[in-house]
Homo-oligomer: A and B are copies of this chain.
Amino acid sequence: MKTLLLGIKDVKEVLSLKEVIIAVEEGYIAYNAGQVQQPEIVSIEIPENNGETDIKSCYNKLNESISVKIASGFYNNGKNNNLPTMIGTILLFDGKTGVPLCVMDGSLITGIRTGAAGAISSKLLARKNSKTVAVFGGGGQARMQIYALCQVMDIQEVRVYSEYQNELIKYKADVEENTNVKVIICATPEEAIKNADIAISTTPTRKYIVHKSLVKPGMHIVAVGADMAGKNEWDPKIFKGAKIVNDSIAQCVSRGETRNAIISGVIKETDIYAEIGQLIAGEKPLRESDDEITIFDTTGMGIQDNVTAVKVYEIAKKNGLGEYFEFI
Contact = CB atoms under 8 A, between A and B. Distances in A.
Interface of A: 1, 5-8, 37, 39-40, 42-46, 48-49, 51, 53, 55, 57, 59, 61, 64, 66, 68, 70, 72-74, 76-77, 81, 83-84, 87, 89, 91, 93, 95-100, 103-105, 107, 323, 325-328
Given A8-B327, A83-B99, A84-B328, A72 B51 contact: no
A90 to B, nearest CB: 10
A100 to B, nearest CB: 5
A12 to B, nearest CB: 11
A98 B87 contact: yes
Q: How many copies of this chain sit in the oligomeric assembly?
A: 2
A154 B99 CA distance: 39
Given A49-B96, A51-B98, 19 more contacts: A37-B45, A40-B40, A46-B95, A48-B61, A51-B96, A53-B98, A55-B55, A72-B93, A74-B96, A74-B98, A77-B97, A84-B328, A87-B98, A87-B99, A89-B93, A103-B327, A104-B327, A105-B327, A107-B328
Contact of A93 (B42, B53, B323): B53
A266 B83 CA distance: 54
With most chain B CB atoms within 10 A of its CB, the pick from A40, A43, A98 is A98
Contacts of A100: 70, 87, 89
Interface of A is mostly: strand
Contacts of A89: 91, 93, 100, 327
26 contacts: A5-B327, A6-B327, A7-B328, A37-B44, A39-B44, A40-B42, A42-B42, A46-B59, A46-B95, A48-B61, A51-B95, A53-B66, A55-B55, A66-B72, A70-B91, A72-B98, A74-B96, A74-B98, A76-B97, A77-B98, A81-B97, A83-B99, A89-B91, A89-B327, A103-B103, A105-B327
